[in-house]
Amino acid sequence: MIDTSLNKALLESVDSGLLILGENSRKAIYFHLEKTFKIKREEIALKFDEFKETLEHIFGPGAEIIEKVIMKELRIKLDLDFELTSHVDLVREIHERQREEKWSKNCLAEE
């Protein structure tokens, strides 16, 4: 399960990334994702690999531009200053970082 703050940041980043195509196109893509590919907007964080593949299916090589905008927005929202080679690795790294922060807070609270 992905942390709700990470999920929210990722969904907002996807919204921003798809908005480069225009509001009506973004709505159409979300509709197409759900009806054709069975990926609801709220499930994108959990099905990120499938989401990425779907963008590539719909836009071909143009999907890379949208993916870069999404990742840039996500790094801004989460105040990250590093680059990773894989978008999925980025999501996993963020999730791991959040788990470590929670663990540290729990340890400090127990002291």
pTM as predicted:
0.68
Taking only the tens place, the pLDDT of each residue in 31-86 is: 999 999 999 999 998 888 899 999 999 999 999 999 989 988 988 888 775 554 45
At 89, is the pLDDT very low, low, confident or very high (cuts 50, 70, 90)? low
**Domains assigned to the chain:** 4-110 (1.10.1200.200)
pLDDT value, residue 15: 95
Residue type, 91: V
Contacts of residue 42, defined as CB under 8 A and 6 or more positions apart, other chains included, come to: 7, 11
pLDDT value, residue 12: 93
